[in-house]
Amino acid sequence: MESNQKSGDGLTGMQKEVPLRALIQRTGYQLLQENGQRRYGGPPPGWEGPPPERGSEIFVGKLPRDLFEDELVPLCERFGKIYEVRMMMDFNGNNRGYAFVTFTTKNEAKTAMKQLNNYEIRNGRLLGVCASVDNCRLFVGGIPKSKKREEILMEMKKVTDGVLEVIVYPSAADKTKNRGFAFVEYDSHRAAAMARRKLLPGRIQLWGHAIAVDWAEPEVEVDEDTMATVKILYVRNLMLATTEETIEKEFNSIKPGAVERVKKIRDYAFVHFTQREDAISAMDAVNGKLVDGSPVEVTLAKPVDKDNYVRYTRGTGGRGGALLQGEYTYTLGQVYDPSAAYLGAPVFYAPQKNNVISLIDLWICVDSYTIFQILEDVCQKNNWGQPVYQLHSAIGLDQRQLFLYKVTIPALATQYPNVHPFTPAKLCTAVDEAKVHAAEHALQTLGLQTEGAEASSAAVAAFPGML
């Protein structure tokens, strides 16, 4: 069987062979091409010990197609010692417009990312640079709400390899049930990728249910200097009936008058303090405490600078949101769990300069016959599985909370990846409005009308089987 690796040093006959040979002669690094990418270093000469820590790699996009390591390496060397450069190559010998550069430390990568993003590499050609992290976490939807964490962990270990942990959240309406989804953490990106392939809709069911599987989005990493200024607490696992007044009273009981304001969204809230030290004291005092009978989790909110925080995560398909409004967005949920250190990826990052918004997955149940039931009926009668709603939240310029839902239909996710998840372009000021807009958008994308029960009947008639 033929090997995909070029013989020798892989440079013979390549574009810019002479300057590339001069580069490796100067640095002593190896340059090998294999499986559609060219690897410079990894490790560098004389390297001992494990590879650099997570967060030491950056994504460099918008490269001119005729730019190679002889130009990119000297540029990146200005900001630190290079561990490895992986340049993606096409069959014609040009690069594919992007590369991954790993530095020996996370701080070097951070400096390079800040300095190189929007750097004019050639006349009128600006680079797009962001963080790159391996994804080791999957989102699995369609899980029966009666299943406990231990049962889900056991089932995932039974059907996939390399499972480290599962993260399950209680339902906002009934804390004895889960929300119909879980995040599954694997011991490596490869293990997660293999599990995702095995769990793709149509290949396997869990407890007899169709499932939706996708890369989760990892928790954002915020630098220590930024976190040292945070005066906002993120509070999760609240009861739906818990009011902002109750939350404010609970936190003000630690120090009267310390709370500036409270913003609650479903079963989580942001609590703003005037002084950071008061926020820290309140966090320590209230975390784990029962509020209206529910044990709450309290952490510092993680602000993301929209100008500096963009990220490419291998294993998310390069999906990112360009919906951030205002100076900061605050991460929510386990996707961006402020208490967990990670996210490699299940965070949906983008390989171009755009803005990432926070994400929390919710399973929506509606009592009256609404647009949600129309979509649910369509999915049920076509055996597509239960639609999964993902709520994204951002803080606007006027400090109001803005919302957007994405909708995933399990059986259609792999057949129509170009339109999944169904993502409307509109940000809404109310959760209910965003929910309605997302369901309408999904039905319209499927080519269906969206008015009342007639729409459901028409949808079933139009799609008696799979699309």
125 and 29 fall within a common domain:
yes
Distances from the Cα of 16 to the Cαs of 13, 31, 71, 94, in angstroms?
A: 9, 13, 10, 11
In a domain, 345, yes or no: no
DSSP letters of 114-136? HHHTT-EEETTEE-EEEEEEE--
Pick the last residue of a domain from 133, 150, 175: 133
In a domain, 82, yes or no: yes
Yes or no: say if 73 and 123 are a contact pair by the CB < 8 Å rule.
Answer: no
Work out how many domains the chain is built from and give that number: 4
CATH number of the domain at 153, please.
Answer: 3.30.70.330
159 and 205 fall within a common domain:
yes
In a domain, 226, yes or no: no
d(CA 17, CA 38): 13
99 and 122 fall within a common domain:
yes
Q: Which domain holds residue 241?
A: 231-301
| pLDDT tens over the chain, length 467 residues | 444 444 345 566 677 889 999 999 999 999 988 777 899 998 999 999 888 988 899 989 889 999 999 999 999 999 999 999 999 888 888 998 889 999 999 999 999 999 999 899 999 899 988 888 778 888 888 888 899 999 999 999 999 999 999 988 887 778 888 888 889 999 888 888 889 888 876 678 888 888 888 887 666 666 677 788 889 999 988 888 899 999 999 999 999 999 999 988 878 889 999 999 999 999 999 999 999 988 898 988 877 544 444 455 555 443 333 222 233 334 433 332 222 222 222 222 222 223 222 222 222 222 223 577 778 777 877 777 778 888 777 766 566 667 788 888 887 776 666 667 888 877 887 777 888 888 888 887 776 644 433 443 444 333 333 33
Contact partners, residue 418, CB within 8 Å, separation at least 6: none
d(CA 25, CA 78): 19
430 and 444 fall within a common domain:
yes
- Burial class from Cβ neighbours inside 10 Å (0-12, 13-18, 19+) for residue 7 reads exposed
- Model pTM? 0.54
49 and 103 fall within a common domain:
yes
21 and 111 fall within a common domain:
yes
83 and 21 fall within a common domain:
yes
141 and 206 fall within a common domain:
yes
182 and 249 fall within a common domain:
no
In a domain, 181, yes or no: yes
443 and 427 fall within a common domain:
yes
In a domain, 271, yes or no: yes
In a domain, 337, yes or no: no
121 and 163 fall within a common domain:
no
79 and 174 fall within a common domain:
no
Q: Phi first, then psi: what are they for 203, rounded to 5°?
A: -95, -30
In a domain, 7, yes or no: no
In a domain, 193, yes or no: yes
Pick the last residue of a domain from 278, 301, 324: 301
Pick the last residue of a domain from 186, 215, 244: 215
Q: Phi first, then psi: what are they for 308, rounded to 5°?
A: -105, -20
Distances from the Cα of 136 to the Cαs of 10, 109, 139, in angstroms?
A: 32, 21, 10
